[in-house]
Structure formats: structure tokens, C-alpha cells
Amino acid sequence: MREEQSAQLGHFVRRAIIFFETDREVAWRCLNDASTLMGTDSVEPYGEPKIKRNALRRLGLANWRAKRALEYIEVHLGSRIEICEVADCVSLSKSHFSRAFKLSFGSSPMAYVLARRVERAKLMMASTRERLSDIALACGFADQSHLNRCFRRIEGISPGVWRHHLAAPEHGIDSRSSFNPVRPVPRHGALPCQT
């Protein structure tokens, strides 16, 4: 494994450790991204978070519906996703699905989709040298500007700055600096995306 990949792997693992106690779903996704970076198969297919029966609240999605919805989202993450399409794949109306999804996962379906797209963009930025405009399109964003807005809202910094600081150790920048791309400080007034 190259030194660059080793550093990126370390970032994903540290992020998983940070979120382990507060948000296991995010921690699991970070570990899944680290696993993907290493070239191994993830524990769950399509990178979906483990869904435990006791985690789903009453009136939320049934386990099979939750798994099918997350699988559909992961498979179609790079293309346009309509809530009605995901609802159809689990045989629910759009409004019932949206309410049940939010009860089950704590965020709306589209907020979840945006958070997953940002996570995929981070993985691509960490593991490839693709241009941000190409990464944006591959992750299902309309364009680079759309990626920038969503990334900044969720991570608190722009994707270009995040990528630059992720690669900082190979450019001789002290890794003990105050900047931490794993857990950036959100800008003033930014609302964190619930995942």
C-alpha cells in the first residue's frame, strides 16, 4: 500500500473512531470506505449500514424495506434519484416512505442521499487524482458547484481544501497542524446534515 493510501486509510479509521460512540452508522460507513480503499469487500453489500431491529423505531421502515431502499440508493448514487422511485421499490407511497425513512434513519431520504454522495466523493478524492468536476458527476451531483455547496454544508470546508489538506503530508506540511480533514470545524451558521 502506498504511503498516500496509508494516510488516507488512517483518516477514515480516525473518523470512524470519532463517530463510534455518537453515530455508529457514520462510523460504519467510514470503515466501509476504508475497506474499499484497501480493495477488500465490505462487510455488507453496497456499503449499506447494518440495520438492527431495535434501531428501527415503531412506524419506521420494516427491515427488508430499509435494506432494499438503502441498496437501491447505493446502486443509483451516481444518477438522479427520485424519492418516488425508491418508494416504489419498497411498495410504499412517496409520503409514507419519506415519513418512515426519517423515523428509521433520522434524516429525510434526500438528506441521506446527499450525505452518501459526499462520502463517495471523499473516497474518490482520497483514492484518485480525478478532477473535482468529474468526481461530482460520478457521484450524482449536477456539477462541481453542486458538489461544492453540499460538501461545504456537510463538512464545513470546500472539497478542494479538503483534498489539498488530505494530501498535505506528501507536500511536507506538518501533519500536526491545527487542520484536521477528518473532523473539520463547520463554518458559522452551517447546519450539519443528519445521517
Q: For 94-103, write each residue's pLDDT tens digit.
A: 999 999 999 9
Question: From residue 189, how far is each of 97, 150, 181 by CA, in Å?
Answer: 30, 14, 19
pLDDT of residue 51: 52
* Class of the domain covering 55-106: mainly alpha
**Average predicted confidence (pLDDT) for the chain:** 77
Where are the chain's structural domains? Answer: 1-43, 55-106, 113-172
Q: Tell me which of 2.40.50.100, 1.20.1250.20, 1.10.3080.10, 1.10.10.60 is the CATH number of domain 113-172.
A: 1.10.10.60
Q: For 167-190, write each residue's pLDDT tens digit.
A: 665 544 333 333 444 444 344 444
Rounded CA-CA distance 16/26 in Å is 7
63-67, 146-150, 151-155, 181-185, range with the lowest pLDDT = 181-185
Per the model's pLDDT, the better-predicted residue between 33 and 164 turns out to be 164
Hey, what amino acid is at 2? R
Rounded CA-CA distance 74/72 in Å is 6
Is 60 exceeded by the pLDDT of residue 116? yes
Q: What angle do CA 149, 140, 76 make, to 5 degrees?
A: 140
pLDDT of residue 4: 67
Rounded CA-CA distance 177/166 in Å is 12
pLDDT bucket at 131, cuts 50 / 70 / 90: very high
* Contacts of 133 by beta carbon, 8 Å cutoff, 6+ apart: 143, 144
Domains 55-106 and 113-172 share a fold: yes
Q: For 30-80, write each residue's pLDDT tens digit.
A: 777 777 767 654 444 444 455 544 444 457 899 999 999 999 999 999 999
Mean pLDDT of 149-163: 93
Percent helix / strand / coil, the chain, rounded to 5 = 60, 0, 40
